[in-house]
Chains A and B, each alone.
Chain A
Amino acid sequence: MNTIEQIRKGKSGILVSGNHEKIVQSILDFDFLSGKEEPSIVGIISGNKKAQKFFFGTREILLPCYKNFEAVPKSSAEKVSWLLNLQSGRRVFDSTIAFFAAYPLALGAHLFAENVPESHATELIRRFGADKLIAGPSGVGLVVSGSLKLGAIGGTDAVQLSASHLGTPGSIAVVSTSGGMTNELIRAVAMAGKRLSFSISIGGDRFPVTSLTDVLMLAENDEETSAIVYFGELGGTDEYEIVELITAKKLTKPVLAYIAGIIDEAFDEHMQFGHAKALVARTDESARAKRDALRAVGVVAPETFPQFLDEMKTLPQNGFQDTIFDAIALLERSKSILSTRSILDLDSAPVFIQDGAIVRRGDSTFATAALRALLGREISDVAAAYVEAVFELLIDHGGNVSGAVNTMITARAGRDMVSSLASGLLTIGPRFGGAINEAARTWLSGVLSGVSAATFVEAAAKEGMVLSGIGHRKYRVGIPDPRVEALAQFTILLKRHSYYDFARAVEAVTTTKNGKLILNVDGVVASVLLDILVEEDHFSAEELQELLEVEFFNALFVIPRTVGFIAHFMEQKRNDEGLFRLPDELLFVRPSIKKKK
């Protein structure tokens, strides 16, 4: 089946590689305008995001982003027929090869970048030229009215798409090497009272993967197409391909052509126009010669552009029915901040007192409510009890620790509660309190890697990595941290506890090097919680990974320690000792080196 036919039958799923927000949005607008219920874009390959927000009509939608072509889940990957490659010229080659390796059955691609090396283009032709439809390198892509918009072609604002009636399938095929003129002709077709069947912008590069001949044969073999409108320029020999096809009777549909570049006759020396192709090297590549050659085989090739537009009105067109479409509504869209779930039910409050008595609402109610808010789901009793214990244990660890010191110093400088608390909280980081998340990362990557604890420690040491969750300033082998032992008791409730076991196995290795390298509070909090989430709350490895990315685990320190910092603040306010100044004996001043006179 002809590729254009396959597109009309629904093969229109697109993976976008790289990003160009306006082009992606215009494709969604095209889908909406064409009456599609689902966006044709399956996903975006873009390293650093999970999803990106766009509009489908006036409704906001999230398009999923993936790290690479392989990361697209199977159910979505099945829908992919096209690559929209928006990578830079130097990356087009590798990304295109990677796409077709992952999607060998895909129909084709558009390569948007302008500076793709010629040798990359010829290699792409060698590999894919025979059986894929690839618009570019360069140009603005391909559009099949009502079915597929792959690229900037036809414009990037909804008003343009609507004015050119791109949602309405028609009979005229538009072919051009110039991206801007592709769009000009698409609009001209609409203004001449016709509708577009499809259009391909071949691109101004010297070696387009899908050649003019290929595109003309698509038009010839497409039942919906009744005539071809072509725009060419001086330079290159493309137009002689048309002459050959017509002479050989391979191309029988009417062709209307405008060949630009007779301005060249006004200059003594041939000049370089915008496209690589437009470097006139031989006399028969002049606009004049090419017009004459086309006319000789029956192509209508008018002398002026206005005449060319007049001729367009005479082209054969099947009947069509335009859909009514309000493009103006799409102009006034603005993006909100995404918030997909209500964290608390604002409309109902629990009953606290009933019949003059306190209602017993179960154990660990604060921890339960906190976890429900943080994780967005109901949680197990074990998880609630564990987090309740963590909250209790981590409220405070004395006034010596850096966060508490900062809180106290700020309080004594006369600042208010929120400022003093913020000062303490801002101290939380990889060296103080903020290591729970990193510890969770350590255990998760260790267990997933499947290697032994010894190998894992060795590899980390080689890379110069510090193992979060291991090591303490005060406690060591022989003087265990009582909080660690208390939290570890929770593992008794679990059938399996592979993260905790791995953490202990790592500790067994590290303590042979140094007795202080024991499993610390961060380490135990993270490992036991991972085990509880897997065993009792059935989190998958991907879900745990996502919790890491959103820094969930650090919340287990920040929440309780907030209470501790406030307590330190209040105490300082009560004492009211005035501004703190570091005593001289605590400040080591480097003696200045005096020059000898």
Chain B
Amino acid sequence: MSRVKLSEYRAKKILLGTQYQGLSIHADGGDAMPTEGRWVVKVDQGVKKRFKQGLVVVDTPVAELNTAIESWKGRGFTQFILEPFFPHDAHDEQYFSMERVRGGLRILHAKEGGVDIEAHPEAVKQYLITTGADAGTVAAASGIPHQFLVQCMEVFDKQFFTFLEVNPLVIKDGEAHLLDAAVLVDDAGAFFTDAWSDTDVVKSKARHPAEVRVEALAATTPASLKLSVINPDGALFFLLSGGGGSIVIADEAQLLGAGALIGNYGEYSGGPTRQETYLYAKEVVGVMLASNAKKKALVIAGGIANFTDMRSTFSGIIDALCEIATDMRAAGIKVFVRRGGPNEAAGLKIMRAFLEKEGLSGSIEGSDAIITKAVDDAVAFIKS
């Protein structure tokens, strides 16, 4: 369903097998460090433009490895990769990528690679592999070793790779050397393969604790629960449902000039239970209460659900709001609602009764009102 980043270490281990000599190092220690040789040391957390950010050190003696790693730890990074230094000329560096597309595997290749590849799009040649036989043709036309192409294709098919970028790629004596590699795998494939698992998927750094908890919750349900904390001191907090509808509602805030006031983004959808919705809502309203904005609003909004039950999801939200109703009143927070779907009348009725009883009601609308109604009202409220 979605493409996730695999650590460079695991990706190369799968691509190159036993001949790969890299080492994976974790911030919490315990990994054996090399005792000799010269090494390349990099942060291995799927960071883009790593070189430009100073997260790569090339040709380092063993004694200096720790210096680099310690400085990166200080910047919040936790996962590193060590590889034997491979001396080569800068003009031997090529660019290579393979991606699964609708019709097969698309290859982009350029004889000149390196960190400035984006400045030379004209050098990039494109090939499409639809069957195994195409590998030979592409190898002949591009100069990429045939064996390497076949190996990549096999890994794409069997290990659910969806994107591989090697930059730079150095070809020496007919062999491909992968100096830097980035890989995306299809997380729906995790069930079918033993080559990688969730632990090999790189985690980005420095995240809000509420996001971490929602992610853990999402892993335990077939429903979809997502949370990004955008601005901890935001004024506009969202309990949105459904992917597309959520974007429409966030767009409206941006169009009204309130984009910078958005505190969080995310969605609950796919029919979560009352309990799951409660746990999710609790995280969102927790972030909202902690915000230092003077005037705050909670927007409970979404499109007209196909099968997510409004009565049970609204019951879950009310369960979460119940716990903090007093604090919300004290902070002058109002709640704005627009939602449709199965059991709409019943869902709206309990929500209206609750919000009015607690003095939290901003506006409450169902599918008769336009999808952007709640966010319009909320923005007017926080700007008033």
- Chain A interface (Cβ within 8 Å of chain B)? 20, 22-23, 89-90, 114-119, 122, 125, 138, 140, 152-157, 159-160, 163, 176-184, 187, 191, 204-207, 211, 231, 233-234, 258, 260-263, 265-267, 271-276, 278-279, 287, 303-306, 309
Contact = CB atoms under 8 A, between A and B. Distances in A.
B244 interface: yes
A157 B304 contact: no
Nearest to A258: B248
A178 B265 contact: no
A119 B189 contact: yes
B3 to A, nearest CB: 7
B188 A177 contact: no
A184 B371 contact: yes
B140 interface: no
B192 A184 contact: no
A154 B104 CA distance: 34
Contacts of B187: 115
Contact of B269 (A90, A117, A274): A274
Interface in B233-266: 241-248, 250-255, 259-260, 262, 265
Interface of B: 1-3, 100, 102-104, 156-157, 160, 162, 186-189, 191-192, 224, 226, 228, 230, 241-248, 250-255, 259-260, 262, 265, 267, 269-270, 302-307, 340-345, 367-368, 370-372
A122 B342 contact: no
B1 A156 contact: no
Nearest to A158: B342
A73 B76 CA distance: 64
Contacts of B255: 262, 303-304
A160 B251 CA distance: 26
B280 to A, nearest CB: 14
A183 B306 contact: yes
Given A114-B270, A180-B241, A309 B370 contact: yes
Given A187-B304, A305-B372, A276 B242 contact: no
Contacts of B241: 180
Given A118-B186, A153-B306, A163 B367 contact: yes
A274 B267 contact: yes
Given A118-B188, A211-B102, A180 B370 contact: no
Return the 4 tightest CB-CB contacts between A and B, nearest first.
A178-B244, A274-B243, A180-B242, A266-B259
A274 B306 contact: no
B243 A178 contact: yes
B165 to A, nearest CB: 11
Given A89-B188, A184-B244, 16 more contacts: A20-B307, A114-B270, A119-B186, A152-B307, A178-B243, A179-B242, A181-B245, A181-B248, A263-B251, A272-B2, A274-B224, A274-B243, A275-B244, A304-B251, A304-B252, A305-B370
A90 B193 CA distance: 12
Given A117-B192, A118-B188, A273-B246, A180 B303 contact: yes
Contacts of B265: 271
Contact of B242 (A116, A154, A178, A187): A178
Given A115-B188, A138-B1, A180-B241, A263 B259 contact: yes
